[in-house]
Structure 1
Amino acid sequence: MTTNAPICITARVRFGDCDPAGIVFTPRYGGFVFEAAETWLEAVMGLSVHQQLNKGEIGTPVRSLTTDLHRSLRPGDRFASTVYVEAIGRTSFRLLVIGRRGDGVLSFVGRMTCVTTDPSHRSAMPLSEMYQQRLTQYQADCGDIPAIA
């Protein structure tokens, strides 16, 4: 599968993402990370989360999701979430999502660890050969992960 690595998802902060003072609700940053990861999953693995669930062959539930906030986003701000594969394990992989405002200023950094599971037993299973190959290729295509200041 060919991708333009690293994948970068652009979005705009909506009114509903914010509190009455016009600052993005803290939990929305986790949503931004998840939304970027979902878009990445479909582009790199060729399956949406819904297709994974409907096929019943493999699942990639989130084991952990962290976000570090650097600079606030406000209603109407455009931002870009760039997705990297930070680590590949036997049964899991960790994505790094770097969010930058339209002016290039670092806004947030998210890390999301997904575990490959057998949906029928809800237990961890080793990454399939296809997952291993695509994760490794994407990681190589991205090159070095940029330093986060």
Structure 2
Amino acid sequence: MNESSEIVVSDLPFTVRRTARWADCDPAGVVFAGRYTDYLLGAVMHFMRRIGYGTNGQAGRESGVGLPCKHMRLTFHASLYPEDVVDIRIEVGEIRTHTFDLIARACLLDGRLAFEGQFTPIAIRGDVRESTSIPAALCEALQPYRLAKEAA
């Protein structure tokens, strides 16, 4: 069997489906807390690629702007076990001058919340490694994914 443990299942809302693997678990069969970070980062990277700003993304190369992590947080709501499937929805929260928030909600297929997270990248000029304004094209690419309460 050659199934992926992570695939994009929806563009709007942007959703990544992740299946917990035995390799993610401790000997008791519970997913390690540190693997939740991998789940969040995997979904964020899929999102960034989708809008053209992932690793080696055309838009990112053209703008000369990199987007490393400035802040990240996770809140755990449920343990995960091998073969558990979570849908990780990524939405855009606040967009500021140099940073913006990607908000994640991961739900089991029965609707229970497994974890919530936030990933906040900062726009930097790659040539000098200092903060810069978020490119207008990136702000535009983020707009369709804004949280309803944030977009109003």
TM-score with structure 2 setting the length? 0.84
Residue of structure 1 aligned with 2:138, choices 125, 131, 144: 131
- In structure 2, the residue matched to 1:55 is 61
Distance apart, 1:121 and its partner CA:
0.8
Partners of 1:89 and 1:47 in 2: CA distance: 17
Residue of structure 2 aligned with 1:46, choices 45, 49, 52: 52
Secondary structure of 1:50's match?
A: coil
Partners of 2:96 and 2:123 in 1: CA distance: 10
- In structure 2, the residue matched to 1:143 is 148
CA RMSD of aligned residues (A): 2.1
Distance apart, 1:144 and its partner CA:
4.2
Residue of structure 1 aligned with 2:118, choices 111, 114, 124: 111
**Count of residue pairs brought into register by the alignment:** 140
- In structure 2, the residue matched to 1:78 is 85
Runs (5+) with no aligned partner, structure 1: none
Once the two structures are aligned, what percentage of the paired residues are identical? 25
- In structure 1, the residue matched to 2:36 is 29
Runs (5+) with no aligned partner, structure 2: 1-9
Secondary structure of 1:46's match?
A: coil
Deviations 1:36-64 (A, max 9, x none): 11111111x22422336x93711110011
Partners of 2:53 and 2:99 in 1: CA distance: 17
- In structure 2, the residue matched to 1:101 is 108
- In structure 2, the residue matched to 1:9 is 16
Partners of 1:138 and 1:72 in 2: CA distance: 28
2:148 maps to amino acid: G
Secondary structure of 1:49's match?
A: coil
- Structure with more contact order per residue of length (Cα contacts < 8 Å, sep ≥ 6): 1
Partners of 2:100 and 2:92 in 1: CA distance: 7
1:50 maps to amino acid: N
